[in-house]
Structure 1
């Protein structure tokens, strides 16, 4: 059976899309290959749309009106031009998402691929989701890739230490790459930056309760299909990392949460004395009552503003607000003495060249020793 030309172009587009997702999901995958294959997938998809709609998608000489030729063949529009033609609104989130990855593909450095993958994860997810929606909208559900694509799993996303590694990796991007993204997004309306078609961010919530045959491992909830009250609840949950269950707030993800050691380091960075996770921190959460004691009947009975119980890992994690409260409560030597009833252990003083009239360095060391 002979197929229309647009269908052959579409099949090539799908092949590249599947290769791109394979590169993303594979632990040894190459991010620049993901960018290249998704670039081609979108390029061929839009060419297939134009071909089917009988739109000429080839460059013409502005003087003669004739097709520009490369090796005797008409020169087809590049992806940038295709995106502008398909999405004429220059603030369309799908167009902006595609244009960002065109720019990144042209600038990616191989040694920073892993870092770039981490920093652009939500936008890459949107790039693939937009592709799926575009192909189904124009060619029908029989061309959907949903049965062949898989939701990627990341072990690093399941632990606080893993998230810190991801955050540190994202910070190591070279300045010119960070600046490229920053400059690109500086001109975009904040509402577009929050649009899922530009940056697809999700929060995973474990499903509990009785399982039915209709259940899938992952269920997607569309906000526009919810009631106004349900939508408000889901949006608020997405911002705070909580869902409402019965009459109490329950944390469903520990994004931006801190383990005790991290809390202690953040506090110690901002006070003139030592602050220990095993001593001062433990005394503070007990006295202020932000969480129950270990082994309590209800470990979830925490002050959620400051502390959350992670049921998956059987431990407590703390919020940035808890760090701020600690510093308010004991941030000076006087406040520390009032709270703990003893002198703090002052941090060692770094020696600098002596200024006229300044005390001797030995005096400072002696003071630390006596304290």
Structure 2
């Protein structure tokens, strides 16, 4: 089968990306090879995008308008120029992350590879994740590498001794290399520096509790679906570090969960209109695929962040994260209209006792009624 030119370029891009991750995850892998292969992966990816979209990605002489030639072929844009074209004025964190590795590519010294790998661990993670996101966004989920990549087994981040070794390794980096990263980050916006697309930092917390067949060893938490309180907790943990203590787990049935009636009550307390189990709540869990229908063969097929099936009661119970998501999705009149395609029902005003509306002072007791001064 003959593929379009852009598809061949994309396949080559994926080959380099997989080689890069193999180098990273291998205990004897080369950080320099990781950077080199990811550089090529990004380069081929963006060239494939330009080719598919009909964008001319070759250098031209500004005076003659003719292509600049190398060995008889038009000279294609280098990665830095591709990044500037693709991320012009948007996604500055993605572009900054890739630009850092463009600069590091020529600065890797073999004897300090391990130290540098530790120093830029989160940035390398973001480098790969941004690549995956860019590829899937532009070419579709069928090109995702997610089914071929796994979370690596690591000791450095999971033991106290390993953490201390990490800090010592970073301290041994040559001054010139540390200055390169420091100067680069000093020149970018602080918001970009804290963006996970620039530096993807991970908080590893062992999961405790009863395991189900649907559980995975690693669960991804989408920051956009967290409440303000949850984000504050994670932010504090990231700044101060975490002290982990062994917890003796005791099963408590459906702790922290609520039935639909309580969900509706909590949501209505936070929005300017009525919110009921029928039709709003039922319509929302159906459209957002939070849980299966009541008659489904597998009642456990839920998004457990929002809803779980209770064997004890034979019913679905919901989490506070589900309340937060509902308010985020339909919490204003405009959002309600957009989601449901109809007008919300305004809350009924509570009847006010006449004496509260009166401007006259309320009588103190029944004995004062009808008396004159």
Counterpart Cα distance in 2 of 1:219 and 1:252: 19
- Following TM superposition, by how much is the alpha carbon of 1:210 offset from its aligned partner in structure 2, in angstroms? 1.3
CA distance in 2: counterparts of 1:166 and 1:234, whole angstroms: 22
Question: 1:128 & 1:169 partners in 2: Cα distance?
Answer: 23
> SS of the residue aligned with 1:125?
helix
2:152 and 2:13 mapped to 1: Cα distance?
21
CA distance in 2, matches of 1:175, 1:218: 36
**Residue ranges of structure 2 left out of the alignment (5+ in a row):** 247-373
Larger displacement relative to structure 2 (206-215 or 29-38): 206-215
Cα shift readout 1:19-68 (whole Å, capped 9, x = no counterpart): 00000000010110000000000000000111111000000111111111
Where does residue 179 of structure 2 map in the other structure? 179
Write out per-residue CA displacement over residues 214-246 of structure 1, whole angstroms, 9 at most, x where no aligned residue: 21110110110223333333333433445xxxx
Q: Does the C-alpha gap of structure 1 residues 253 and 106 become closer, same or farther in structure 2, counting only changes over 3 Å?
A: farther
Residues 275-294 of structure 1 show CA distances to partners (whole Å, capped at 9, x for unaligned) of: xxxxxxxxxxxxxxxxxxxx
Which residue number corresponds to residue 191 of structure 1?
191
Q: Deviations over 1:157-216 (max 9, x none)?
A: 222222111111111111111111111111111111110000000011111111112211
Unaligned ranges ≥5, structure 1: 243-250, 255-371
Contact 1:203 1:253 in 2 (8 A): no
Alignment map for 1:1-12 (pairs within 5 Å): 1-12=1-12
Please say if 1:63 is aligned against 2:63. yes
Query: What residue in structure 1 maps to residue 168 of structure 2?
Result: 168
Counterpart-to-counterpart distance in 2, 1:228 and 1:163 = 29
Match of 1:209 in 2: 209
The 5 A counterparts of 1:53-92 are 53-89=53-89, 92=92
- Describe how 1:209-228 pairs up with structure 2 within 5 A: 209-228=209-228
Q: TM-score, normalization: structure 2?
A: 0.64
Cα offsets for 1:63-95 (capped at 9, x unmatched): 111111111111100000001001112870000
Cα 1:71–1:39 shift into 2, 3 Å: same
Provide the residue aligned with 2:120 in structure 1. 120
Q: Residues of 2 paired with 1:215 and 1:86: CA distance?
A: 38
Over the aligned positions, Cα root-mean-square deviation in angstroms equals 1.7
CA distance in 2, matches of 1:220, 1:239: 20
Q: 1:25 to 1:9 in 2, by over 3 A?
A: same
Question: Using a 3 Å threshold, how does the CA distance of structure 1 residues 253 and 67 change in structure 2: closer, same or farther?
Answer: farther
Q: TM-score, normalised by structure 1?
A: 0.64
User: How far, CA to CA, are the matches of 2:90 and 2:128 in structure 1?
Assistant: 20
1:157 partnered with 2:157: yes
Change (3 A) 1:104 1:50: same
Contact 1:91-1:192 at 8 Å conserved across structures: no
